Amino acid sequence: MPRVSKRRELTFKKQKLFLDDFYSAVTSLKDKNEVRAFFNDLLTREEKLMLAKRFQIIMMLKLGYLWEEINERIKVTNETIAIFRQKLDFGLGGLDKVAQRIITIKKEKLALLEKGKGRRGDLGTAMLKSGLGILLQKQEQAKKKKLIAS
């Protein structure tokens, strides 16, 4: 991700104002289509992918994936995983809260699909079933490993 120029450093007051405007812009977005359009206009493909990979690390850590599995699937270093493990453990709770919210939503969608009430036959449904299924399997395996270890 591009870095802010050190030669043209902003005052703390300007930084705070710019960040506040950015947070206000993000919270004003009404639905996923607006969010997608906003970030497509604002960020490069690489920047969006970097942010998405970071969030996926958080999700996988919350679901009990081993670091080796995260590294293999997302193609990130152990240093990067460690940074986000620390943010989950010692951060302000924002990542944890949002990741848990998304995990809950995905579990609810999966339950609807299993009851035959969800949409069928589209790629999103198939990806949800396989992706969340794998994540939930890993979470159950991690719980079993903890029980065995204790």
14-55, pLDDT tens digit by residue? 999 999 999 999 999 999 999 999 999 999 999 999 999 999
Cβ–Cβ < 8 Å for 59, 135: yes
d(CA 132, CA 112): 13
pTM of the model: 0.74
- What tens digit of pLDDT does each residue of 66-83 get? 999 999 999 999 999 999
Question: Which pLDDT belongs to residue 123?
Answer: 44
Q: Helices marked H in the chain — which ranges?
A: 12-28, 32-42, 45-62, 67-74, 78-90, 94-114, 123-149
